[in-house]
């Protein structure tokens, strides 16, 4: 269990269990799903909890548990894709703006200001409205809407790093801009971007659910929690579990992402030294002074 000590110390048991649970579903969901999430069986529609269907069926006879698992995969794949695309483009723009400055910095920052002036969800709604509702268009729209966040974050980190003496020393020694950027600036910015992305993933999961709830994201028969919610609204009195279950799944996913981001951010802060370590340091210091 030595391999578990580091993530357990950084994340804690609740965060580690929640994140591991959703990660397991994202990777092995297709294997553990008891039924095809899109398979309809009208003769089994609106069944309650049973041994055959553990969480019952919906109005079209589709297995609720299978659709929850498929919805988790859809959401997690979407969140990961948006973070990778937006983070990569934002880091490239922010790094170039922070390193070279001048007119390039002005253009990138003014574009970021324009992006911040409009809520990200509104930008995504506008893009999806132009290109049409689909899963791919939703991912593209959210990626565009999230680029300014990571561009501004990266630019601030890179601009602070460029002002450090070691960057000037590299320039004096003849290091090329590409070497400075890829070997010294991007690794510094990447740590901050990963910390922010871990906390931002919960907001992205909600955005995906909101767009799907409005009919602008995932389209039937593909399973997604927001789309499951809107499909179950007419049956909320007859079968409230159809609304409660995807709502709880989305809630726990957002909690897992928020706990993950908080724990990672706290892990980067310096920790106070324990009494045992402090006493040991004092003993070693006294021995060095008396030697």
HSE toward the beta carbon, residue 243, CA cutoff 13 A: 12
Residue pair 15/260 in contact by the 8 Å Cβ criterion? yes
Which residue(s) pair with 57 in the sheet? 63
Q: What is the pLDDT of residue 48?
A: 86
Q: What are the percentages of helix, strand and coil residues in the chain, rounded to 5?
A: 75, 0, 20
Confidence category of residue 186, pLDDT binned at 50, 70, 90: confident
Provide CB contacts within 8 A for 100, sequence distance 6+: 177
The fraction of the chain above a pLDDT of 90, given in percent, is 23
More confidently predicted of 255 and 287: 255
- 146-155 pLDDT per residue, tens: 999 999 999 9
**For the packed helices 135-162 and 64-100, what is the interaxial angle rounded to 10 degrees?**
30
Q: What is the pLDDT of residue 68?
A: 93
Flag whether pLDDT at 272 surpasses 70.
no
Q: What is the pLDDT of residue 2?
A: 45
Confidence category of residue 89, pLDDT binned at 50, 70, 90: very high
Confidence category of residue 78, pLDDT binned at 50, 70, 90: very high
Confidence category of residue 79, pLDDT binned at 50, 70, 90: very high
Which residue(s) pair with 63 in the sheet? 57
- 216-241 pLDDT per residue, tens: 888 888 889 988 998 888 888 888 99
Q: What is the pLDDT of residue 276?
A: 67
Question: Which whole number is the average pLDDT over 179-184?
Answer: 84
| pTM of the shown model | 0.83
Question: Which whole number is the average pLDDT over 229-256?
Answer: 90
Q: Which domains does the chain have, with CATH numbers?
A: 71-290 (1.10.3720.10)
Q: What is the mean pLDDT of the chain?
A: 83
- 101-148 pLDDT per residue, tens: 888 889 999 988 888 888 777 888 888 888 888 888 899 999 998 999
**For the packed helices 186-213 and 120-131, what is the interaxial angle rounded to 10 degrees?**
60
Flag whether pLDDT at 3 surpasses 50.
no
């Amino acid at each position: 269990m030595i391999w578990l000590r580091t993530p357990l110390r950084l994340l804690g048991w609740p965060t580690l269990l929640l994140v591991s649970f959703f990660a397991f579903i994202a990777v092995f969901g297709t294997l553990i799903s008891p039924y095809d999430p899109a398979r309809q069986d009208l003769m089994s529609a609106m069944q309650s909890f049973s041994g055959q269907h553990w969480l019952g069926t919906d109005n079209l006879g589709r297995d609720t548990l299978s659709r929850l698992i498929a919805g988790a995969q859809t959401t997690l794949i979407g969140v990961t894709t948006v973070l990778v695309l937006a983070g990569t483009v934002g880091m490239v723009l922010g790094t170039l703006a922070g390193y070279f400055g001048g007119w390039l910095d002005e253009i990138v920052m003014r574009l970021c200001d324009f992006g911040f002036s409009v809520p990200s969800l509104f930008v995504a709604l506008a893009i999806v409205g132009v290109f049409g509702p689909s899963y791919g268009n939703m991912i593209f729209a959210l990626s565009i809407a999230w680029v300014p966040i990571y561009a501004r974050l990266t630019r601030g980190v890179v601009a602070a790093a460029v002002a450090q003496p070691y960057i000037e020393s590299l320039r004096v020694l003849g290091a090329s801009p590409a070497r400075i950027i890829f070997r010294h600036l991007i690794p510094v910015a990447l740590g901050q971007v990963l910390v922010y992305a871990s906390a931002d993933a919960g907001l992205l999961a909600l955005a995906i659910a909101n767009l799907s709830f409005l009919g602008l994201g995932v389209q039937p028969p593909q399973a997604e929690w927001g789309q499951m919610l809107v499909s179950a609204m007419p049956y909320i009195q007859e079968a409230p579990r159809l609304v409660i279950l995807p709502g709880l799944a989305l809630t726990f996913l957002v909690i897992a992402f928020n706990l993950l981001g908080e724990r990672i951010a706290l892990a980067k802060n310096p920790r106070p030294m324990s009494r045992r370590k402090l006493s040991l340091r004092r003993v070693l210091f006294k021995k060095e002074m008396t030697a």
